[in-house]
Amino acid sequence: MSLPFFRSGDELMWRHEHHLLTVRPWGRDSVRVRAGVHRLRDDLPGALEPEPAPQEAEIHIGADSATLTSGLLRITVTAADGLLTATRADTGAELLREEPAHFWWPGARHFEALGGGVHRIEQRFAAYDDERIYGLGQYGHGRFDQKGMVLGLQQRNGEVSIPFAVSSRGYGLLWNNPAVGRVELAANGTRWVADRARQLDYWLTAGETPARVLGNYADATGHAPRFPAWASGFWQSKLRYSSQDELLGVAREYAARGLPLSVIVVDYLHWRHLGDWSFDQRHWPDPRAMVEELRGMGVEVAVSVWPSVSPLSSNHPPMRDAGLLIAGEGGSTAHAEWPDIEPTPEPGAGGGTEPGTQPGTQPGTQSVAGAAAGRGAASDVAVAFYDATDERARAWLWDRLRENYYDLGIRAWWLDACEPEMRHPEHHSYAAGPGAEVANLYPREHTRGVYEHMRAQGETEILSLVRSAWAGSQRYGAALWSGDIPATFEALASTVRAGLNVAMSGMPWWAADIGGFHGGDPGDPAYRELMVRWFQYGAFCPLFRLHGHREPRETRSFVGVAGGPNEVWSFGDEAYAAMTSVMRLRERLRPYLHAQLREGERTGLPLMRPLLLEFPGDPAAWDVDDQFMFGRDLLVAPVTEPGARTRPVYLPDGATWTHTDGNTRYKGGARVTVDAPLDRIPVFVRDDAHTPLSLEEPT
């Protein structure tokens, strides 16, 4: 009887009947594992960078099993059933083990045929009671440790699927598959599921520390580029500034008050029709002059770009005819309802738009907002989405962005609603493949298009603020933010933990809407307290951005949709004093921030670091989920409870800590309670800090 193993170069292969498994070294201390029925394909989309440099691998084939060793990682495959076990090559400690669901079927790897070479695929691993799992993107469940959770592998507003997990057992696993599915991190096993896929594909790495695991991941999927100098200052934003005059008035007020301002944001509805990707000149008559005036103040303009295209936009017919829009199962390109603005007819002329420009609503479309009367009439239209997985469509979009924004001097992009904001991806067809197989890829490819075309223009400082991301988005200058979250203390606490998981997902650039997005009354004392606390936290995020849809909300027409005041002077004198002090602190932090991010370009480490990244040898550090390191040297303890004026803090073992409020020194490995008055956030400096830093305002 011949052995089921064979070797091809540095790749170990196992075959039983139609089931084929391959293991290949893929970067430092890492392997790529693929499995399928009959054959494996090399042309499927994924997150890994192009094939890495050749790695030295030791392969040994025996009668009962075979092993492949790549640095610290050793993979053993049994001959009888092809089960895979990952261990540390130096210690023999088990990292991860495949485990069948049943002694008969399904096995650890399960392929349920759907026809046409497509399967519903399951990959099962054993559960470990003491294991902690971090990363996997951004979810609003309020937990840092993902063990015990069931997470959908699907992009939604506020839920971002980045299928990379870091384990306390010393490994990282990337589910290298953009299919819609889920991961179940249960007590009786871990199961990864792709609802529709051609083959199984995952990447596995080992590391002595979580920091080493993140570094290996960055090597495999791409390191973040240089963080733009302009992006580290304060961002002013709200839903929404409805005209050029209004936006300039806000920027001039910041200048008159002597407050630092780096970016001001032009939100959605600055266009005439969704998918125009241009300013409506009725309300933005001279955007070039606006950009020039703001740049003279040291302020960049960030502009909202949506991936959706209304049939009323002039871009819709040519994009539809060229096949640049996402198609449905029946060929329709209409996927969501959106209230768009019909032109106001001339007196005596017939109303409405040209016949055929508003296709009927398709089954499963999504109502995004209600319609109301305004200038012209706001009517629901069935909008399309450009296909970001199509290189031609990315080029079309860039041509519009270049003509209508970039050539006016705009360099900062807010790629909003880039999940994209539609339901039922399994019903859609992309250039990269059927929606159920590739939908999670969309936000990364959207960001990629902007990044690559900006690079082609000679730009070197590129950042896109995005509401969704996938594995590898970091290499295209993606700065993820929290999505549309509530304006509550509970949401603030959940956001702190969500940001830590984003950091463990290989995304070093992240931010939250300071103050939350949904609601918040600037005149309410309780909300003012929340705003101050969130503002303090925001100053220690990579992006420091104020945004939200405040009360009172204007809803007299869709075009007039806007929220209440959301500038730092909108929340009363006490809050203003506390917030402006934080703004000046952020300015003093900027050189340190950039130095830490530059080091992260090389190491793959994020700016916001869970304590376990810097202190993996301290068991207590692995359980702390409401504090973080801001770079190597600063420990930040946000206040996330209303009315709190003290804050318990854990100071990790392995350092001595100096509290910046009073310069009290503490030995590490201790829990202390410190004062946290409304105008202060507890911050501690590590004893051997490399960067001289003053957190106190000059007197």
Confidence check: pLDDT of 582 > 80: yes
Q: Of the given ranges (197-201, 345-349, 404-408), which has the lowest mean pLDDT?
A: 345-349
Q: Please check the confidence at residue 350 and state whether its pLDDT lies above 90.
A: no
Least confident of 73-77, 343-347, 536-540, 649-653: 343-347
At residue 367 the predicted structure's pLDDT band, cuts being 50, 70 and 90, is: very low
What per-residue confidence (pLDDT) applies to 559?
58
Q: Which two tokens stand for residue 593?
A: 């921030």
Neighbours of 51 (CB within 10 A): 10
Q: What percent of the chain has pLDDT over 90?
A: 86
pLDDT at 555: 64
- Nearest Cα to Cα of residue 502 among 469, 548, 475, 533: 469
Q: CA nearest 315: which of 272, 361, 368? A: 272
Catalytic residue (choose from 29, 159, 195, 419): 419
Alpha-carbon distance 11 to 13, whole Å?
A: 6
Catalytic (active site) residue 614: no
Mean predicted confidence (pLDDT) in 127-133: 97
Q: Per mean pLDDT, which range of 46-55, 186-195, 518-527, 575-584 is the poorest? A: 46-55
Residue at token pair 């495949």 = 98
484 is catalytic: yes
pLDDT, tens only, 615-656: 999 999 999 999 999 999 999 999 999 999 999 999 999 999
pLDDT of residue 257: 98
Least confident of 42-51, 246-255, 320-329, 375-384: 375-384
How would residue 561 be classed by pLDDT, with cut points 50, 70 and 90?
A: confident
Mean of pLDDT values over 55-73:
95
Q: Quick one: pLDDT at residue 3?
A: 83
Residue from 219, 267, 380, 416 carrying the catalytic annotation: 416
One-letter amino acid identity for 135? Answer: G
Distances (CA, A) of 62 to 58, 67, 274, 690: 13, 8, 62, 51
521 as an active site residue: the answer is: no
Average pLDDT over residues 366-388: 63
Residue 349's pLDDT is: 39
Distance, in Å, from the CA atom of 625 to the CA atom of 609, rounded to the nearest integer, reads: 11
Q: How confident is the model at residue 330 (pLDDT cuts 50, 70, 90)?
A: confident
Per-residue confidence (pLDDT) for residue 363, from 0 to 100: 35
**Which pLDDT band, with edges at 50, 70 and 90, does 369 fall under?**
very low
SS3 at position 152: strand
Whole-number pLDDT of residue 560 = 63
Categorize the per-residue pLDDT at 52 as very low, low, confident or very high, splitting at 50, 70 and 90: confident
What tens digit of pLDDT does each residue of 411-434 get? 999 999 999 988 888 889 999 999
- The predicted-structure confidence for 84-128, as pLDDT tens digits, reads as follows 999 999 999 999 999 999 999 999 999 999 999 999 999 999 999
Q: Tell me the per-residue pLDDT of 300-317, one tens digit each, with 9 for 90 and over.
A: 999 999 999 999 999 999
- Give me the catalytic one of 11, 426, 484, 587: 484
At 272-298, the pLDDT tens digits run 999 999 999 999 999 999 999 999 999
Backbone angles phi, psi at 293, to 5 degrees: -65, -45
What pLDDT sits at residue 689? 83
Q: Which residue has the tokens 């933990």?
A: 497
Q: How many residues does the chain have?
A: 699
Per-residue pLDDT reduced to its tens digit, 194-245:
999 999 999 999 999 999 999 999 999 999 999 999 999 999 999 999 999 9
- The per-residue pLDDT for range 441-462, each reduced to its tens digit, is 999 999 999 999 999 999 999 9
The pTM of the full predicted model, rounded to 2 decimals, is 0.94
Residue 356 has pLDDT above 80, yes or no: no
Mean pLDDT of 191-196: 98
Q: d(Cα 489, Cα 52) in Å, to the nearest integer?
A: 45
Note the pLDDT of residue 688.
77
Three-state SS string over 365-413 comes to CEECCCCCEECEEEEEEEEEEECCCCHHHHHHHHHHHHHHCHHHCCCEE
Q: At what angle do helices 489-503 and 525-538 cross, to 10 degrees?
A: 10
Q: Which residues of 324-348 are buried (b: 16+ CB within 10 A; e: fewer)?
A: bbbbbeeebbbbbbbbbbbeeeeee
Q: What integer is the mean pLDDT of 239-257?
A: 97
Q: Work out the percent of the chain whose per-residue pLDDT is above 70.
A: 92
What are residue 359's DSSP bridge partners?
A: none
At residue 690, the pLDDT reads 64
Is the pLDDT at 372 greater than 60? The verdict is: no
> How much is the mean pLDDT over the chain?
92
Token couple for 411: 């360099």
In sequence order, which residues have a C-beta less than 8 Å from that of residue 573 and are 6 or more positions away? none
pLDDT at position 424 is 85
